[in-house]
Amino acid sequence: MSESKTFIASPSPSLKGAVKAPGDKSISHRSLIFGAMAEGVTEIDGLLEGDDILATARAMASLGAKVEKFGQGHWKVTGKGRLQSPNDTIDCGNAGTGVRLLMGAVAGYPVNVTFDGDVSLRKRPMKRVTGPLASMGARFDWKLDEDRLPVEVKGGKLTAIDYVQSVASAQIKSAILLAALNASGTTRITEPEKSRDHTERMLVAFGAKVDVQEVGEGWVIALEGGQSLRGTSVSVPGDPSSAAFPLAAALIVPGSEVTVEGVMLNPLRAALFDTWIDMGADLTITNRQMAGGEEVGDVTARYSRLKGIVVPEMRAAAMIDEYPVLAATAAFAEGQTVMRGIGEMRVKESDRIALMVAGLRACGVEVEEEPEGFVVTGGPVKGGATVDTAHDHRIAMSHLVLGLAAEHPVAVRDPEMIATSFPGFVALMNGLGAKIA
Ligand X SMILES: O=C(O)C1=C[C@@H](OP(=O)(O)O)[C@@H](O)[C@H](O)C1
Q: Catalytic residue numbers?
A: 321
Question: C-alpha 19: how far from its chain's center?
Answer: 20
Q: Are 417 and 93 in contact (CB under 8 A)?
A: no
Q: What residues pair up with 291 in beta bridges, in sequence order?
A: 294
Considering only residues 333-372, where is the footprint of ligand X by CB under 6 A? 344
Position 399 contacts ligand PEP (CB under 6 A): no
Of ligand X, ligand PEP, none, which one does residue 394 interact with (CB within 5 to 8 Å by kind)? ligand PEP
Task: Pick the stretch among 138-146, 170-178, 252-260, 398-406 that binds ligand X (CB under 6 A).
Answer: 170-178
Q: What span, in angstroms and rounded, lies between the C-alpha atoms of 102 and 114?
A: 11
30 is in an annotated binding site: yes
Q: At what angle do helices 323-330 and 393-405 cross, to 10 degrees?
A: 20
Question: C-alpha 68: how far from its chain's center?
Answer: 24
7: enclosing H helix or E strand: strand 6-10
Binding mask 260-299 for ligand PEP (x = CB under 6 A): ----------------------------------------
| Residue choice 31, 62, 97, 266 for contact with ligand X (CB under 6 A) | 97
Binding mask 403-422 for ligand PEP (x = CB under 6 A): ------------------x-
| Residue choice 118, 197, 298, 321 for contact with ligand X (CB under 6 A) | 321
Give the neighbor-by-neighbor strand order of the sheet with 66-71: 66-71, 74-80, 39-45, 233-235
**Region of residue 375 (phi > 0: left; psi between -120 and 50: alpha; otherwise: beta):** beta
What does the H/E/C string look like for 242-276? Answer: HHHHHHHHHHHCCCCEEEEEEEECCCCCCHHHHHH
Of ligand X, ligand PEP, none, which one does residue 174 interact with (CB within 5 to 8 Å by kind)? ligand X
Task: Pick the stretch among 35-43, 93-101, 299-307, 360-368 that binds ligand PEP (CB under 6 A).
Answer: 93-101
Of ligand X, ligand PEP, none, which one does residue 389 interact with (CB within 5 to 8 Å by kind)? none
Q: From the annotation, which residues make up the binding site?
A: 25-26, 30, 96, 124, 169, 171, 321, 348, 352, 394
- Please give the residue ranges that form the binding site for ligand PEP (CB under 6 A): 25, 95-97, 321, 348-349, 394, 421
